Amino acid sequence: MQTESESDDLLIRYLRRELAEAERDRVEEMYFADDKLHERLLMLEDQMIDSYVRGQLPPDERERLARRAQDSTEQRRKVEFAEALRRLAAREASAPPRHAWREALQGFLLVRTPAARMALAAVAVVMLLGPLIYFQYAKRAGTPGRQAAVPHTQPTVKSPAPQHAAPILAFVLAPIERSGGEGNRVVIPVGDYTIRLQLDVEDGKIEGLSAAIQTAEGVTVDQLNGLETQTVGPGRRAAFLSLPSSRLREGQYVVRLSHAAADGTTELVGGYSFRVEQGR
């Protein structure tokens, strides 16, 4: 039985067209009978083409591959693809570092319409001024300001709601424009809780709101439709989401709050992100 490196050596010689006819036929029979070997062959071919586009092949081998790329459409496509991948990776390498979860967030919250961009800007302004206004309003109304009204916060623990056995942990999330997706922490102590998230929304867009909660990898953990909004301050309304803490593991999450427009399209109202951490 061949070791992997012996097998690789044979496959590389096959790719370089260096094998005698009998050996070449044997390699063909081997990979036609074995999917994994065929996959391995293609991986080695990718490596060879990558070396070619990086100018790392010896001159004679380089010349042979160049000729094959000219003669064969498929070979040429593979070379062009490898070159495009190399250039794209180089471009990304020279760009500022990005995190996978942040890319997820950016894609998830991609705002394509001017109206939605304005809505997001409005949410950002409201969230910036919101806590101040809210405290003023609460003071005048004689109601205690909640700890949860401060973004990046510790949770407020409330007594259990009638419909839930679990105590409620409430959080206010700053929108993505303000926090850059890094500030909101949702610290969940050990145990079962109902997690209540407050998302401020632009006044007027109060019906037919939907919220999708996703992990940074794009896995939807919850989707809530027909959300009701409540007044949380002068001219301010907020949507509230509730979900069991068991749905949220440690990691980065994004929330997309959207609104069904009159023409049937969905318009992004706000984007939020938060990191779930396990408390003690």
Partner 1 sequence: MSRKAQFVLTQEPFDRFLARLDTDREEAGKKYEALRRKLITFFRCRDCPEAEDLTDETIDRVIRKQGEEDIQEVIPYVLAFARRVASEAHRREPPGPPPPAPPPEGGERQLQILDGCMDLLPPTERALILDYYQHEKSQKVEDKRRIASAMGIAPTALRVRAYRIRRQLENCVARKFNETTEGR
Which residues contact partner 1 (rule: CB under 8 A)? 14-15, 17, 25, 28-29, 31-33, 35, 38-39, 41-43, 45-47, 50-51, 54, 67-68, 70-78, 80-81, 83-90, 92-93, 98-101, 103-104, 107, 216-218
Closest CB 7 distance from partner 1, rounded Å: 14
Angle at 240 between CA 248 and CA 160, to 5 degrees: 70
**What distance in Å separates the CA atoms of residue 264 and residue 280, rounded to the nearest whole number?**
45
Name which of 163, 159, 168 is nearest 192 in CA terms: 168
Closest CB 2 distance from partner 1, rounded Å: 17
Q: Is 47 or 147 the residue whose CB approaches partner 1 more closely?
A: 47
Q: Is 84 or 161 the residue whose CB approaches partner 1 more closely?
A: 84
Closest CB 199 distance from partner 1, rounded Å: 22
Closest CB 243 distance from partner 1, rounded Å: 22
Q: Which residues pair with 188 in a beta bridge?
A: 278
Q: Is 14 or 193 the residue whose CB approaches partner 1 more closely?
A: 14
Angle at 132 between CA 130 and CA 136, to 5 degrees: 115
Q: Is 174 or 254 the residue whose CB approaches partner 1 more closely?
A: 254
**What distance in Å separates the CA atoms of residue 19 and residue 13, rounded to the nearest whole number?**
6
